[in-house]
Amino acid sequence: MLHNNSFVQSQMTLREKLAHMHWLFIILLCVTASVGFAMLYSAAGGNLDPWASRQIVRFALGIGGMAIIAVTDIRLWLRYAYVVYFIVLALLVAVEIAGFVGMGAQRWISLGVFNIQPSELMKVAVVLALARYFHGISIEEIERPSLLVPPLLIVAVPAFLILRQPDLGTTLMVVMASIGIFFAAGVKMWKFALVGVIGLASAPVAWFYVLRDYQRARIMTFINPESDTLGSGYHIIQSKIALGSGGVFGKGYLMGTQGHLNFLPEKQTDFIFTMLAEEFGLVGGLALLALYIIILFYGFSISLSSRNHFGRLLGMGVTITFFLYIFINIAMVMGLVPVVGVPLPLVSYGGTAMLTILFGFGLLMCVHINRDLTIGRRDSGDDY
Amino acid sequence: MHRDSERHKLFSRRAAMLGGGKALLLSALVGRMYYLQVVESSRYKTLAEENRINFRLLAPPRGRIVDRFGRAMADNQQNYRAVVIPEQSGDLAVTLGLLSKIIPLGDKDWRRILREAKRRRAFVPITVRENLNWGDVARIEVNAPDLPGVLIDVGQSRNYIYGSEIAHVLGYVAAVSEKEISGDPLLELPGFRIGKAGVEKVYDMQLRGQGGSSQVEVNALGRVIRELARQEGQVGNEVRLTINLDLQRFIAKLLGDESASVVVVDVHSGDVLAMVSSPSFDPNMFNKGLEQAQWEALVHNEKSPLTNKAISGQYAPGSTFKMAVGLAALEKGAITPETKVHCSGSVKMGNAEFHCWKRGGHGSVNMEQAIEQSCDVYFYEAARRTGIDRVSAMAERLGMGKTLDLGLPGERDGLMPTRKWKAKTFNEPWQMGETMISGIGQGYILVTPLQLAIMTARIANGGFNVSPRLVTEDGANEKPAMESIGLIPEHLQIVTNGMNNVVNGPKGTASRARIHETGMEMAGKTGTVQVRRITKSERETGVIKNEDLPWKERDHALFVGFGPVANPRFAVSVVVEHGGSGSGAAAPLARDILLEAQKLALSTPAPSEREAKTKRKEEDVT
């Protein structure tokens, strides 16, 4: 490697950028996605159709898109962070006005050839916008409450729109990822405590005036799944049966009775982890979790090794988002949190989540490639 | 730069805390995974198996019911059903339209099928029609490519091969009612049938067998994926009856729609060779499910086709009772073989006058002649001299007045009156006139046709207490242990001579029913029982002939008989309700039956019967 720390990164050639790419990280992503392909093949009863084949194509396209994002100049993202945010926000509003209902919630918008869920894209857009905002604020300024109002609005507006769709899972993810960024950016602890107390106090209001019936039902079901064994509780009970019956070594690939006999709901999407753990047991579940932990570890280290604050916050935001996907999904299928409809990243069937995650990882790669670039606090990228 | 490094430090600190938080949460996941997949695993494994595996009970084939020679009378038939699986048929209405060109479907069927298709899951077969014949099955199979989703399904259903000809003895099976569910899971199987009458009811447990089971893997919707294990059930035991199918069918055809009953027993073993009650019904109808109109027709028929008259019908025995009266009188010594009674056509007793059936009277007759000509006046006198209690006691020794424990439901006691009985029942003293009419088998006396047949058998076999037997163990006709009922052979001889003369004597009341075939013979006794009161004025102007009366008011016609005369084997009783006269309506039937029984015995001599006969002879010698 010919570069040194004083080397002006923006002048890197494409070849150099590719050389700086975190290839091990990309291999990890491919391995994880392959686990997904295998499980989708099993979910279809030993068939590439209808899920595995399409997922492979999507992942291939997604990883290509990720590579393209990775080699862009990070200052471009810094400069256009708000633009991206407002485009996605506009899409969210469009969903509110013209979107169509799928699976009981108004989440989708048609972009001609394919449909997207703007709320998914918002997970990354919020991270971008917040990273840009906190990048421009000094360690002293962060103490000033008035300066916390804009970032709070950046989070609250889309969160409110997404909750209205209604999509509790995505709202929670956007809000929690944002809290992570606020925290990493250095907002004082007592402020979180204050917001927490206010949040708890307003919970009853939310319960009665904001949450929809089905969301309340899901939370009630979570608290006591056995109360409704054939209704909402059925999913979580069957999921636990599938997991538990898998035991330590599982029932064997393509041999999961709960999944293959359709006792397991949504086995190709939200409950795919259950299927994996039924067929490969505790060993299989831990192996996938280990893959995720390694990815998270690299995400962290990329974020920490960046020499510009935008890159750090962006990397951290993407990593936190990825973590939230993993944690909420697995905790959900094991009955630790309510079923809120969060897919297992890279493994669950679904295009938009894949797009979001690979978009996020594209930015993470970009941070990695530009790790040695220093960007001034006031240098918002408009005039580098 | 300095500011940024400070910011970096803070960021690193915070990042480390975030990382720690994540690690904590992830270890919670691992802990939960361990709990579910290791600690609680066996519980969830059981639950998964319970999800996956369904036990299905398999109905065992019901045991057959066969006749004394092992010929099946009730067996199980392949029941071919046309079923349609909606999810495979595409447009169900179109498929049914095509199918209706092969097997006609009523509007009701259409509606039922479409209703069930809506209600059930699309892979559950719906029965279109049951009990298809071979032609229908073949035509459906040939047209199978045009009938998507239509399948032929084979089940088993009870089949009574001879239908109404042996309905009352076999009984029938029908769907289990709510009350009958006893804990045997078989009873809760849809379509399961249990015995509701006759042998089917009494021997239900033997015939039923043991249920098998099938373990099938099902998916979340209940669709069967595959069979994992199967344990066949135990076929029900065969029940062998003493019935001779040929004789039974012969009699059933002979009686036709007459309201009548016939019992034929082996005089030595008590084996019930035939038991017919007519009119009859088709027990197969009960199995398939009776329609309201059919049921009403059976219940409201004045000839009561559902009743087994042979054991449930109670009749005044009329003149067929005279042997019992005679034997009682001889035993008491009230009358000797030589005693003669003058019959002038009637006899006075107090204010009442008791008439003989023959207006001019029989003149002076002894017992043998009195039986031959069925003289009423003789037996008024015999009963008067003997007393009702002795007459009833003799009748009971001969098998009347109490159930004979044949084993079929509905067997009745009949009635043998005594002084005590009347005092207890009516709180009135017994009248001499009542004794006199008891002498000709009228008044309070009631018997069943089965009891009449057993009475005849006990007279014919030399006075042994033979009892009726309907079921044999493994067809081994070991001779039942019998005791003498203590009759003096000479007395029996007088009675049987009289009975011989009834048929074969010059003045016998049933001489028209004599058997002319060589080697075949019978003896017997006629009986004609009034079911209305004949007034004095009617008697003076001439008794109205039976043909001129409404059916319900005509006399019952009875006949009891045995054959052959010299070496009796078969005893028969015939009761034709409102048939007119014993000699005219019942005797010819008895003649045909005894003739057929003897012919059948020649063509298919049952070893057991021959054995029984030789044994009897040996006992005669001793």
Q: What is the DSSP string of A316-376?
A: HHHHHHHHHHHHHHHHHHTTSS-----PPTTTSS-HHHHHHHHHHHHHHHHHHHTTT----
Q: Which residues of B touch A (CB under 8 A)?
A: 1, 3-4, 6-8, 10-12, 14-15, 17-19, 22, 25-26, 28-30, 32-34, 36-38, 40-41, 43-45, 47-49, 51-52, 217-221, 225
d(C-alpha A331, C-alpha A344), whole Å: 11
* Chain A, nearest residue to B46 by Cα: A245
Tokens found for residue A283: 């060993």
Domain assignment present for A262: yes
| Whether the Cβ atoms of residue B575 and residue B565 lie closer than 8 Å to each other | no
Given CB atoms, is A331 within the 8 Å cutoff of chain B? yes
Into how many domains does chain A fold?
1
Given CB atoms, is A377 within the 8 Å cutoff of chain B? yes
Tokens found for residue A221: 């079901």
**Host H or E run for residue B472:** strand B471-472
Given CB atoms, is A178 within the 8 Å cutoff of chain B? no
Closest CA to B560 of B541, B598, B587: B587
Residue of A240, A262, A289 lying closest to B30 (CB–CB) = A289
Q: DSSP string covering A76-109, please?
A: HHHHHHHHHHHHHHHHHHHHHHH-EEETTEEEEE
| Contact assignment for B48 to A257 by CB distance below 8 Å | yes
Whether cis (ω within 30° of 0) applies to the bond prior to A345 is no
Domain assignment present for A379: no
Residue of A243, A263, A313 lying closest to B51 (CB–CB) = A263
d(C-alpha A259, C-alpha A256), whole Å: 6
pLDDT at residue A6, as a whole number:
41
| Contact assignment for B38 to A248 by CB distance below 8 Å | yes
Domain assignment present for A160: yes
Architecture of the domain defined by B245-621: 3-Layer(aba) Sandwich (3.40)
* Domain span at A261: 13-369
The C-alpha R_g of chain A, in whole angstroms, comes to 21
| Contact assignment for A327 to B36 by CB distance below 8 Å | no
Question: Measured between CA atoms, how close is A304 to chain B, in angstroms?
Answer: 7
Domain assignment present for A93: yes
How many residues make up chain B in this entry? 622
CA B132 from centroid of its chain's CA atoms? 27
The C-alpha R_g of chain B, in whole angstroms, comes to 36
| Whether the Cβ atoms of residue B60 and residue B208 lie closer than 8 Å to each other | yes
- Write out chain B residues lying below 8 Å of A245, CB-based: 41, 44-45, 47-49
Closest CA to B470 of B83, B198, B137: B198
Tokens found for residue A209: 């005036």
| B481 CB neighbour count, 10 Å cutoff | 6
Q: Which residues pair with B193 in a beta bridge?
A: B175
d(C-alpha B344, C-alpha B377), whole Å: 8
Closest CA to A211 of A340, A39, A342: A340
CA B601 from centroid of its chain's CA atoms? 24
Question: Measured between CA atoms, how close is B58 to chain A, in angstroms?
Answer: 24
Question: Measured between CA atoms, how close is B148 to chain A, in angstroms?
Answer: 26
Given CB atoms, is A283 within the 8 Å cutoff of chain B? no
Question: Measured between CA atoms, how close is A101 to chain B, in angstroms?
Answer: 27
- Write out chain B residues lying below 8 Å of A374, CB-based: 1, 4
B151-B157-B159-B164 Cα dihedral, nearest 10 degrees: -100
| Contact assignment for A247 to B37 by CB distance below 8 Å | yes
3-state secondary structure B257-309: CCCEEEEEEECCCCEEEEEEEECCCCHHHHHHCCCHHHHHHHHHCCCCCCCCH
Question: Measured between CA atoms, how close is A187 to chain B, in angstroms?
Answer: 10
CA A68 from centroid of its chain's CA atoms? 20
Question: Measured between CA atoms, how close is A334 to chain B, in angstroms?
Answer: 7
d(C-alpha B479, C-alpha B270), whole Å: 9
d(C-alpha A165, C-alpha A175), whole Å: 16
d(C-alpha B617, C-alpha B201), whole Å: 38
Taking only residues 183 to 202 of chain A, the set having a beta carbon closer than 8 angstroms to any beta carbon of chain B reads 183-186
- Write out chain B residues lying below 8 Å of A260, CB-based: 219
Domain assignment present for A3: no
pLDDT at residue A20, as a whole number:
86
Given CB atoms, is A246 within the 8 Å cutoff of chain B? yes
| Whether the Cβ atoms of residue B37 and residue A244 lie closer than 8 Å to each other | yes
Q: Which residues of chain B have pLDDT under 70?
A: 1-3, 190, 222, 474-479, 604-622
Question: Measured between CA atoms, how close is B226 to chain A, in angstroms?
Answer: 11
Query: At B348, which amino acid appears?
Result: K
Question: Measured between CA atoms, how close is A240 to chain B, in angstroms?
Answer: 7
| Contact assignment for A185 to B11 by CB distance below 8 Å | yes
pLDDT at residue B384, as a whole number:
94
Closest CA to B317 of B417, B229, B247: B417
Name the region of B33 (left: φ>0; alpha: ψ -120 to 50; beta: rest).
alpha
d(C-alpha A214, C-alpha A225), whole Å: 14
Tokens found for residue B8: 């970096």
- Write out chain A residues lying below 8 Å of B8, CB-based: 309, 312
| Contact assignment for B17 to A240 by CB distance below 8 Å | no
A174-211: burial string, b at 16+ Cβ within 10 Å, e else: bbebbbbbbbbbbbeeeeeeeeeeeeeeeeeeeeeebb
* Active site residue ranges of B: 319
d(C-alpha B590, C-alpha A100), whole Å: 91
B155-B161-B164-B167 Cα dihedral, nearest 10 degrees: -80
Three-state DSSP class for A27?
helix
Determine the residue among A139, A245, A327 to mutate to test chain B binding: the one whose Cβ has the most chain B Cβ atoms within 10 Å: A245
Three-state DSSP class for B239?
strand
| Contact assignment for B18 to A246 by CB distance below 8 Å | no
Q: Which residues pair with B160 in a beta bridge?
A: B74
Contacts of A73 (CB under 8 A, 6+ apart): A10, A370
Residue of A138, A245, A377 lying closest to B44 (CB–CB) = A245
- Residue located via tokens 């009403």: B296
| Contact assignment for B51 to A257 by CB distance below 8 Å | yes
Question: Measured between CA atoms, how close is B68 to chain A, in angstroms?
Answer: 54
Three-state DSSP class for B582?
helix
| Contact assignment for A185 to B219 by CB distance below 8 Å | no
d(C-alpha B228, C-alpha A376), whole Å: 71
- Residue located via tokens 């198996």: B49
Contacts of A227 (CB under 8 A, 6+ apart): A220, A221, A233
What counts of helices (H) and strands (E) characterise chain A?
Answer: 14, 3
- Write out chain A residues lying below 8 Å of B4, CB-based: 309, 374, 377
Given CB atoms, is A304 within the 8 Å cutoff of chain B? yes
* Chain B, nearest residue to A241 by Cα: B44
d(C-alpha B595, C-alpha B590), whole Å: 8
Task: Give the CA angle between residues A337, A343, A349 to the nearest 5°.
Answer: 150
| Contact assignment for A320 to B7 by CB distance below 8 Å | no
- Write out chain A residues lying below 8 Å of B49, CB-based: 245
Query: At A54, which amino acid appears?
Result: R
Given CB atoms, is A312 within the 8 Å cutoff of chain B? yes
Given CB atoms, is A296 within the 8 Å cutoff of chain B? yes
pLDDT at residue B613, as a whole number:
44
| Contact assignment for A257 to B25 by CB distance below 8 Å | no
| Contact assignment for A184 to B18 by CB distance below 8 Å | yes
Q: Does domain B56-241 have CATH number 3.90.1310.10?
A: yes
| Contact assignment for B28 to A331 by CB distance below 8 Å | yes
B469 DSSP 8-state letter: B
Three-state DSSP class for B562?
strand
Closest CA to A61 of A357, A371, A362, A355: A355
| Contact assignment for A183 to B14 by CB distance below 8 Å | yes
3-state secondary structure A204-271: HHHHHHHCCHHHHHHHHHHHCHHHHCCCHHHHHHHHHHHHHHHCCCCCCCCCCHHHHCCCCCCCCCCC
Task: Give the CA angle between residues B527, B530, B533 to the nearest 5°.
Answer: 155
| Contact assignment for A316 to B15 by CB distance below 8 Å | yes
**Host H or E run for residue B524:** strand B523-529
pLDDT at residue A102, as a whole number:
56
Domain assignment present for A192: yes
| Contact assignment for A336 to B218 by CB distance below 8 Å | no
Domain assignment present for A232: yes
Counting one residue from chain A and one from chain B, the pairs whose CB atoms sit within 8 A come to: 138
- Residue located via tokens 């003076």: B540
**Host H or E run for residue B224:** strand B224-231
Q: Which residues of chain A have pLDDT under 70?
A: 1-11, 99-115, 221-233, 379-384
Closest CA to B63 of B214, B273, B204: B204
Determine the residue among B12, B29, B228 to mutate to test chain A binding: the one whose Cβ has the most chain A Cβ atoms within 10 Å: B29
- Write out chain A residues lying below 8 Å of B9, CB-based: none
Question: What is the side-by-side strand order in the sheet with A100-102?
Answer: A100-102, A105-111, A114-116
